[in-house]
Chains A and B, each alone.
Chain A
């Protein structure tokens, strides 16, 4: 049933305008940024080679583009997710979900996976575009694969968090505003405090940057998994409370 709900969510998003706008706009922005980086790289490549630098296209073109993709997902996924629960509540369709013989946890998990499916075309199309550079320039393939895996995990985490926030509001616009507020807070948290602060662990940048530098750290995976599962559980809890199961 989780998979059925995920497919339904994906179909619903695919039928709407927002998905296609995000995909087109996202690809345009990333392609433009990647070409700008590539042009700069082509200009300085002879000097780098002459100076014996180890920096290559992966460092100067691919990773900055993935960094931009991370930002784009941060802005785009809440837009896709805002209607996932808040829209159902506002339209009255939540009545069918809650009166159905499907568990609240299944609904929350299915909708999270559906959102993730909808974010995949952007992530994969950008990844393929950047990997295509490998036809003409030497790329660090293991690092590229690690970064793609990291971005996939990050997008799944964003889907869980955005869905959870969507379930707390009766209006999609309110859910979107709250999502942006919380994500901006997490994004800036590391600059508001030093590594010794207790809440530094929640800061987003220290968990996303290592991937872009080719580091796979268990603490980052643990962060995304634990907070992501927590968010999906909270979404499930809010649905169960509406039903009176809790």
Chain B
């Protein structure tokens, strides 16, 4: 089976203080990969590099074997990206925002209309389709962002902290939605919540200060907290010394 996405020796930022350093990762069809790290670990930067928003200062991202930076822009159709801040125009309605996202990804007329209807149904925003995006609650706005990301049926879904800033009920709803969306496509999800990884991911990469420190398969026995405890202990010893 062909690797969907491969990042090879990715570094980003100035040489003296890189925000990412020598990161390798692979995403296989059907895989749900989590990127876990504390705030400032480099998760969002890595997500933007993987989505083609930022170009790595060293290394290369390959999508279906082709380098994302040099391949024709059409290669980007395989990626659906939800940045940390929902990329919606507050002055436009939910439908108009989806219309923009769909057209930007090459959907036209009937295909676009069908895709918008499907996406609205999938994220349960049909009842607020005519409302301005600026008037949506945080949970609804996040669902709008998800609808924008999956509108063109991408093979790879890259989601940057989709549960950040949500209340417990909204978090649960978004997790349920993500579980549904990831049945049809591969997923890369960045988060600082262990629960997101335990519930949604099949494997996880741990990031620390822009470096990949470990990679695990996620099972019910995986104790991710142990990794952070170990790190905190190591830091504490370093500070004590």
Contacts and interface: CB of A to CB of B under 8 A. Distances in A.
Interface of A: 1, 4-5, 8, 11-12, 15-16, 91-103, 242-245
Interface of B: 48, 51-56, 69-70, 72-77, 79, 81, 83-85, 87-89, 91-92, 96, 100-101, 103-106, 148
Contacts of B51: 95, 99
A8 B83 contact: no
B73 A242 contact: no
B87 A15 contact: no
B48 A95 contact: yes
Contact of B100 (A1, A8, A94, A243): A8
> What are the nearest 4 A-B pairs in CB distance?
A244-B55, A92-B85, A95-B83, A101-B76
A243 B83 contact: no
12 contacts: A1-B103, A4-B103, A95-B81, A99-B52, A101-B72, A101-B105, A242-B55, A243-B52, A243-B53, A243-B55, A243-B69, A245-B55
Contacts of A15: 89, 91-92, 96
Nearest to B84: A92
Nearest to B145: A96
A95 B73 CA distance: 14
B73 A96 contact: no
B187 to A, nearest CB: 16
Contacts of A4: 103-104
Given A15-B92, A101-B73, A101-B77, A95 B103 contact: no
B92 A102 contact: no
A93 B73 contact: no
A95 B105 CA distance: 13
B87 A244 contact: no
Contacts of B87: 91-93, 95-96
Given A15-B91, A97-B104, 6 more contacts: A92-B83, A93-B87, A102-B73, A102-B104, A243-B55, A243-B69
Contacts of B96: 11, 15
B53 A98 contact: yes
Contacts of B104: 4-5, 96-97, 100, 102
B105 A93 contact: no
Interface of B is mostly: loop
Nearest to A12: B89
A93 B76 contact: no
Contacts of B91: 12, 15-16
Contacts of A103: 73
Contacts of A11: 92, 96
A16 B106 CA distance: 26
Nearest to B74: A101
Nearest to A244: B55
Nearest to B132: A15
Contacts of B72: 101
Given A12-B91, A16-B91, A244-B69, A96 B77 contact: no
A95 B51 CA distance: 8
Nearest to B56: A244
A93 B56 CA distance: 20
B36 to A, nearest CB: 21
A1 B103 CA distance: 8
A34 B73 CA distance: 50
A15 B93 CA distance: 10
Contacts of A5: 104
Given A4-B103, A11-B96, A244-B55, A99 B81 contact: yes
